[in-house]
A and B are shown apart, each in its own frame.
Chain A
């Protein structure tokens, strides 16, 4: 069924009796050409592009719970492509371009809102670094704009410009960045994949891989064995556990990241703001809540909840740049589990096991990458070679000395 304004009016006049489920609930078949493990944003996007762009048939997405119940439903919904390094920037710009055409591609309203993102700076050194980043973005076809203090005052008059320790000196803006309704991303990809014949199998947990002579033949699940010529894993947060079933150790640690939403307010914050002197970022959802977050808790965790020291740290960051946030009450807070990689960048690669492919290590930047992650993973699965924007995301890059370390932190996952 195609959604349209005409369809809404027609249904409104006929008692809304013509709507059908957005996707089927099929039983698993004994064998698929391609099985994607993980019914989150990345897995569902992979299935969509495999079926629609790469014309693959006989595909299934396996999800242990319900689709969209993991990190695609637990993030802070920001999209942007303001990266510095060559291995990253073309990929994230490709992703932002896909976001711009997403709703037409999926025939689904994901509420893509290019309200702009502003990275604030507080020192001369930071200005140099951000101007350099902006130039790198422009060289890769993205948009970037340096704003001085007066220009930021005009757009965000309520920020704390004259803070004694961290005065706001300027900022790097990406006007095409913004926010997207995260749940709708999962549902839109699921509906599109399903309409192209992909079987989305929920409540089906993977319990093991069937690997013979270095070749992956399929997966063991809570609903029985499912044979597959190719298996793609996209379960970020739990990558270590899943790939451990295939005997692999990964360059990944799982960490908990907390996020927060305030009570609903009238429109106060036009775009996305990030604090340059600490780790804090904030935007306002269309429902009115201020959505914000900051650092990881910093220790390995699979518990989807964090501890109070980071709550305090995030709130201090908020107060340092936007004191009016102190008048808003906190409505909700939650934690999500991140695949923190050793250099802060992700992996989209074959494994040493034939027919087994891996997508993960998204740290806490996975949401914005969803379309490009799905597209490039689909490319890898269909053609057995990496997409041109994802050639750097190899699992063996530490061995060959090709780390993609945006922050220059080294192999300390909780610092990326």
Chain B
């Protein structure tokens, strides 16, 4: 698979480390009443869709940036690549 890095252009996916569903960016509130349950679901449960999935890839063999890659798990086709930093900021998370 070729991942079209927003800064570096097309790169071989073998340069990356895979971290799974990009919803990991949205960490639960540790102060919440049910924080333990929320963190259990956050750490251990997955949607695991057959179809489009937004996922985290770390460019370990490159510029060490985190990317959010939108990919179809049935065909491996990649439709969108974003910097995880931008995604996190758009959700109000500062990095």
Contact = CB atoms under 8 A, between A and B. Distances in A.
Which size bracket describes the interface of B in this complex? 20 to 34
B69 to A, nearest CB: 9
B75 A303 contact: yes
Contacts of A241: 48-50
Interface stretch (A129-137, A145-153, A251-259): A251-259
A309 B44 contact: no
Interface in A241-276: 241, 244, 249-254
Contacts of B18: 298-299, 414
Contacts, number: 73
B46 A309 contact: no
Interface in B1-53: 1, 12-14, 18-21, 37, 40-41, 43-50, 53
What is the interface of chain A mostly: helix, strand, loop, or mixed?
A: mixed
Interface residues of A, number: 25
A411 interface: yes
A302 B50 contact: yes
A307 interface: yes
A307 B48 contact: no
Given A244-B47, A342-B44, 11 more contacts: A240-B48, A240-B50, A244-B49, A252-B46, A299-B55, A300-B55, A300-B73, A309-B13, A398-B40, A398-B44, A413-B20
Given A300-B53, A303-B74, A309-B13, A253 B20 contact: yes
B64 interface: no
A156 to B, nearest CB: 31
A70 to B, nearest CB: 14
Contact of A307 (B13, B71, B75): B13
